[in-house]
Structure 1
Amino acid sequence: MKILKSSGFKNKETEKIVKEQVSAIIEDIKINKDEALKKYNLKFDNNDRSVINVSKEEIEEAYKQVDEEFIQNLKVAAKNIENFAMAQKESFDNNFEKEIYPGVILGQKHIPVTSCLAYVPGGGYPLFSTALMLIIPAKVAGVKRVVACSPTMKSIPKINPKTLVAMDIAGADEIYATGGVQAVAAFTYGTESIKPVDIIVGPGNKYVTEAKRQCYGTVGIDFVAGPSEVLIIADETANPTYIAADVLAQCEHDLNARGILVTTSEKFGLEVSQKVDEMLETLPTKNIAKPSWDNNGEIILVDSLEEAVQISNEYAPEHLEINVENNEGIIEDLVNYGSLFIGEYSAEVFGDYVSGTNHTLPTLKASRYTGGVWVGTFIKTCTHQVLNKDAVKSLGPVAINMATEEGLHAHANAARVRVEDK
């Protein structure tokens, strides 16, 4: 392995300070509820709304502020996301009961959570696509109360109209103009104006991420996400212009985003590096993409595709692109990724917006143990059992012995009274 371009990626944030600040806000929300929520809305987002809930009239006004082409594009993306989510839902159509021992009938049911929050970031961009990615799978899963929230714009105390329209098209039941740590805490513990939810999904900055981490347990979460990342495996047959464009598409997310190329060709790696520099000259988001690439980008030269696969599995990237002559030769060996993009035309951007797969994906190596947000994020698999008298007579002595051996005598007695009951 040879490093053609190394990463200066370092997490310089003081985790202790972030944890303490987040903890203080959460405690304030728990105690002072709406009063604290509005205080932090004003402090962090210049949001002075007295009513956090977004009205039907606000939603209708948002539609007037966006053009028809944008609305139609949202509907195309929404339909693809819905169709894929419905295909995923079919994998849950397997509720069953089975007699696994004489007189013992066991079964399972797939039950959607009752409520969820789709947290849609505001930040530097109106991330309306995230509204589609979070709300639609929840609705397809059968969640009865799907709530959405997003920070307001800095200029006026309203959610960006593009985001608001996306939330409505996706089918949100309730929408709230709030974000940040205070929103995560409010939907975890509840306030006078906000009823808590069962699970919170969606990305956010380091403070939102830490708030999800601290609230987890009281509320469910999808996963703890960090900076966005793409890893691309490419050989000399790939198109350097495509790869450079994909790297920069990742880097413009934020200053901590990571673009990584793993290639078997030194010539190709240098070509991509040159193309990146050329594209940066005219890129409108150069102020973010260039430092992101300079500080976090990597180009790694490997001797073989087998070595590339090994490196990819160790990185466990959020997005993984494969651009090699023989894709099928390595796909089965790739096991750690949030979402896989196969072939030169399957750019990450299509998954981000319109192809139908979800773009809310695990980062920071979390793809070693979890996938991204999907219909299953909102569904619980729950078991049940029915035993008859014959089963109790047969299995009771086994249960009594095992409970006694563990020293749990009340457990043993719960079985014994049924065995001995005439």
Structure 2
Amino acid sequence: MIILKDVNKDPKKLEDVHSIVASILEQVKIEGDQALIELTKQYDRVELSVLKVPRKAFQKAYELVSGETIKSLEFAAEQIKYFAEHQLACLQPLKRCEHIPGVTLGHRLVPIKTCGAYIPAGRYPLPSTALMSIIPAKVAGVDKIIACSPPSKEFGTIHPAVLVAMDIAGVDEAYCMGGAQAIGAFTYGTESVPKVDIIVGPGNKYVTEAKRLVSGSVGIDMLAGPSEVLIIADESVPAQFVAVDLLAKCEHDPNSIAIFVTTSRKLAEEVQKSIKEELKTLGTAELAARTWADNGKIIIVDSMDEAVKISDELAPEHLQIMTENDDEIAGQLCNFGSLFIGKTAPVAFGDYVSGTNHTLPTLSCARFTNGVWVGTFIKVSSVQKVSMEGASRLAGVCSHLAGVEGLLAHQRSAELRRGY
């Protein structure tokens, strides 16, 4: 059995990250804006005078981004919004149900008031993550959506492509900040940055550790690890498709995980050859080759049933199926962050334009949770109304159970309603 590697399990490294992040959070909590400015200079090598991005910076960003990029972002935004709206339509308030006369139950769908969207900036700007984080919150009805991203050294502020994406998505405010300090600002608030009710968006190990430490003081979407893909394929698919889709995951990050499961030794060998060929011309070959060598795996199984079993045990972030019986196999799978069915449905589409979200559970967490979606930003809050008749039916049982637990004021509270 192959276990997805958690790169943060080294105790010494965990201790180092924890102590650094805890110190940063405390500094932001005490010093506010000044800490954010100093930490941005220290870690991002950019000196800021203000943290909030002014409206004119958004307008200038459109001038710095190509028309094709703007149109592409608008296309992706429309598709993400379309899917989020249809997801929202599946959620319905429960206005009235009555099993016992006089006891009316229900629930309300209550949007979270404020959201902080963290948009990482590593080797490249990530405008797609701005769309994925902000649009579902907007569709859910969040009152105020604020976003942040680390500064680009080239521009001295958030990369213009990310600013344009934030604007297209409908952000209310944006702040130039990143790292654990940004998570601290969203959690505690500073002179400039308002604190929020929930923080969403992926980040590096310091951002993830910061989210772990502040969870409970603020809501978080999840604790994300390195990106993953598992591909199940047979000889009906070209080896090149599998090879390129594996490398697409490998170029993300040196800790990314790419696994290929197949019933065909022939296809496995062809994929290995195709990977070597693709690396000869791939612009990100150095990173992709190193990641594949360190974290790439090919598993040959005796049957598709075995492939399904392995996949469900690993519960990958991205699961891709390319076989002669895609729909049949898809119906047997349960554990995945996002499922891509068919040889014309690569993970890249989900990362950008198909409309589903790309902020997904990793490290086998898809066994018990899901990725960011419109429901991430909605509370399902229960409501009850009890008439005198209903109270008379509930009071006796409630009183008895409260007595069993030794909660005498609870018991008294119920008794007061008996026959009121």
CA contact (8 A) 1:46 1:157 kept: no
Query: 5 Å matches for 1:17-96?
Result: 17-96=16-95
Query: 5 Å matches for 1:119-130?
Result: 119-130=118-129
CA contact (8 A) 2:314 2:364 kept: yes
Matching residue of 2:392 = 393
| CA distance 1:373–1:325, shift in 2 (3 Å) | same
| 1:101 alignment partner, SS class | coil
Matching residue of 1:356 = 355
Matched residue type, 2:377: F
Matching residue of 1:232 = 231
Q: How far apart, CA to CA, are the structure 2 residues paired with 1:340 and 1:260?
A: 15
| 2:319 alignment partner, SS class | strand
Q: How far apart, CA to CA, are the structure 1 residues paired with 2:206 and 2:350?
A: 26
**More moved, 28-37 vs 54-63:** 28-37
CA contact (8 A) 1:323 1:343 kept: yes
Matching residue of 2:315 = 316
Shift of 1:50: 1.9
Shift of 1:389: 1.0
Matched residue type, 1:217: G
Shift of 1:96: 1.9
Matching residue of 2:161 = 162
CA contact (8 A) 1:7 1:296 kept: no
Matched residue type, 2:74: K
| 1:147 alignment partner, SS class | strand
Q: How far apart, CA to CA, are the structure 2 residues paired with 1:205 and 1:11?
A: 11
Matching residue of 1:339 = 338
Regions of 4+ moved over 6 Å: 6-9
Q: How far apart, CA to CA, are the structure 2 residues paired with 1:7 and 1:383?
A: 38
Q: How far apart, CA to CA, are the structure 1 residues paired with 2:7 and 2:28?
A: 32
Q: How far apart, CA to CA, are the structure 1 residues paired with 2:104 and 2:8?
A: 52
Matching residue of 2:172 = 173
CA contact (8 A) 1:7 1:295 kept: no
Q: How far apart, CA to CA, are the structure 2 residues paired with 1:404 and 1:207?
A: 48
Q: How far apart, CA to CA, are the structure 1 residues paired with 2:330 and 2:56?
A: 49
Q: How far apart, CA to CA, are the structure 2 residues paired with 1:8 and 1:147?
A: 33
| 1:211 alignment partner, SS class | helix
| 2:382 alignment partner, SS class | strand
Matching residue of 2:250 = 251
Matching residue of 1:223 = 222
Matched residue type, 1:146: I
Task: Answer yes or no: is 1:378 the counterpart of 2:377.
Answer: yes
Q: How far apart, CA to CA, are the structure 2 residues paired with 1:147 and 1:193?
A: 12
Matched residue type, 1:59: F
Post-superposition Cα deviations, 1:326-364, rounded to whole Å, max 9, x if no partner, equal: 112221221110000000000011111111111111111
Post-superposition Cα deviations, 1:196-222, rounded to whole Å, max 9, x if no partner, equal: 001000000010011111110011111
Unaligned segments of structure 1, at least 5 residues = none
Shift of 1:132: 0.5
Matching residue of 2:190 = 191
CA contact (8 A) 1:190 1:196 kept: yes
Matched residue type, 2:133: L
Query: 5 Å matches for 1:147-158?
Result: 147-158=146-157
**More moved, 148-157 vs 285-294:** 148-157
Post-superposition Cα deviations, 1:347-404, rounded to whole Å, max 9, x if no partner, equal: 0111111111111111111111111110000000001111111111221111111101
CA contact (8 A) 1:185 1:211 kept: yes
Q: How far apart, CA to CA, are the structure 2 residues paired with 1:210 and 1:334?
A: 31
CA contact (8 A) 2:388 2:419 kept: no
Q: TM-score when scaled to structure 1?
A: 0.96
CA contact (8 A) 1:8 1:295 kept: no
Task: Answer yes or no: is 1:261 the counterpart of 2:284.
Answer: no
Q: How far apart, CA to CA, are the structure 2 residues paired with 1:11 and 1:181?
A: 16
Matched residue type, 1:142: G
Shift of 1:7: 9.3
Post-superposition Cα deviations, 1:148-204, rounded to whole Å, max 9, x if no partner, equal: 110001234211110110010010000111110000010001111111001000000
Task: Answer yes or no: is 1:302 the counterpart of 2:285.
Answer: no
Matching residue of 1:275 = 274
Matching residue of 1:213 = 212
CA contact (8 A) 1:260 1:299 kept: yes
Shift of 1:11: 5.1
Shift of 1:41: 1.1
Shift of 1:420: 5.7
Q: How far apart, CA to CA, are the structure 2 residues paired with 1:329 and 1:130?
A: 32
Task: Answer yes or no: is 1:108 the counterpart of 2:99.
Answer: no
| CA distance 1:9–1:202, shift in 2 (3 Å) | closer
Shift of 1:42: 1.0
Q: How far apart, CA to CA, are the structure 1 residues paired with 2:131 and 2:376?
A: 15
| CA distance 1:68–1:311, shift in 2 (3 Å) | same
CA contact (8 A) 2:187 2:214 kept: yes
Q: How far apart, CA to CA, are the structure 1 residues paired with 2:6 and 2:39?
A: 31
Q: How far apart, CA to CA, are the structure 2 residues paired with 1:10 and 1:107?
A: 44
Q: How far apart, CA to CA, are the structure 1 residues paired with 2:102 and 2:229?
A: 53
Q: How far apart, CA to CA, are the structure 2 residues paired with 1:398 and 1:93?
A: 31
Matched residue type, 1:275: S
Q: How far apart, CA to CA, are the structure 2 residues paired with 1:74 and 1:332?
A: 32
Shift of 1:10: 5.7
Post-superposition Cα deviations, 1:8-49, rounded to whole Å, max 9, x if no partner, equal: 986575111111111111111111111211111111112321
Q: How far apart, CA to CA, are the structure 2 residues paired with 1:142 and 1:8?
A: 37
Identity %: 51
Post-superposition Cα deviations, 1:136-155, rounded to whole Å, max 9, x if no partner, equal: 01000000101111000123
Q: TM-score when scaled to structure 2?
A: 0.97
